[in-house]
Amino acid sequence: MQAAILKFEKLLNENVNHFPTLSTEVLEAKAAGKWSKKEILGHLTDSAIHNLVRFTEINYLEKPYHHRPYNQIDLVNLNQYQIMDPDELLQLWLVLNKQIVRLMKSVDEKALDYKIVLSDESVIDLRFLMTDYVEHLEHHINQIKS
């Protein structure tokens, strides 16, 4: 888990200063059927919101924990990330992720083995979900940086 946390912190630290260097035109440019870089950051914000809830709830709800999916496209559209102030969006994304880092650093070792049932009935554990969150974040950050 420590490696995932270090990678997570590095991603946050590197990109909190990089994102503001991107022009509005670059952030808002869209290809047909694709999200803009700004909308990708919005998607990462939605992901942070939902995963913060998951990472927290698993500690006190009945086990196994049942993972609730969310409609990513609808959320990006409903939250209007394309027209949101880029600095506000960046701060929202950053603060949510700093809280997730705090939670990951303090999670009980036994809790990492808590079982999570996905919508397709497959089973993972909290360790996998947290590590996968960092990988997902890295994937989308690379899209923003390209």
Given a cut of 90, whether residue 99 has pLDDT beyond it is yes
| Sheet bearing 115-117, strands edge to edge | 65-66, 115-117, 123-125
pLDDT number for residue 82:
97
- Report the mean per-residue pLDDT for the chain: 96
pLDDT at position 120 over 90? yes
Q: Which among 130, 30, 141 is positioned nearest to 81, based on CA atoms? A: 30
Buried b (16+ CB within 10 A) or exposed e, 64-99: ebebeeeeeeebbeebebbebebeebbebbbebbee
Which domains are present in the chain?
2-145 (1.20.120.450)
In this prediction, residues 12-27 reach a mean pLDDT of 93
Task: Give pLDDT, residue 95.
Answer: 98
pLDDT digits (tens, 9 = 90+) for 48-92: 999 999 999 999 999 999 999 999 999 999 999 999 999 999 999
User: For the whole model, what pTM was predicted?
Assistant: 0.95
How far apart CA 30 and CA 10 sit, in angstroms, is: 28
Confidence of residue 146 (pLDDT cuts 50, 70, 90): confident
Q: How many CA atoms lie within 13 A of 81 on its CB side?
A: 27
User: Does residue 94 surpass a pLDDT of 90?
Assistant: yes
Cα angle, residue 7 at apex, residues 3 and 11 outer, rounded to 5°: 170
CA distance 72 to 82: 14
Mean pLDDT of 15-39: 94
Residues with Cβ within 8 Å of 58's Cβ and at least 6 positions away in sequence, in order, are 65, 111, 114, 116, 126
Phi, psi (rounded to 5 degrees) for 75: -65, -40
Q: Using CA atoms, how far apart are residues 12 and 141, in angstroms rounded to an integer? A: 10
103-118: pLDDT as tens digits: 999 999 999 999 999 9
User: Span 6-18, mean pLDDT?
Assistant: 94
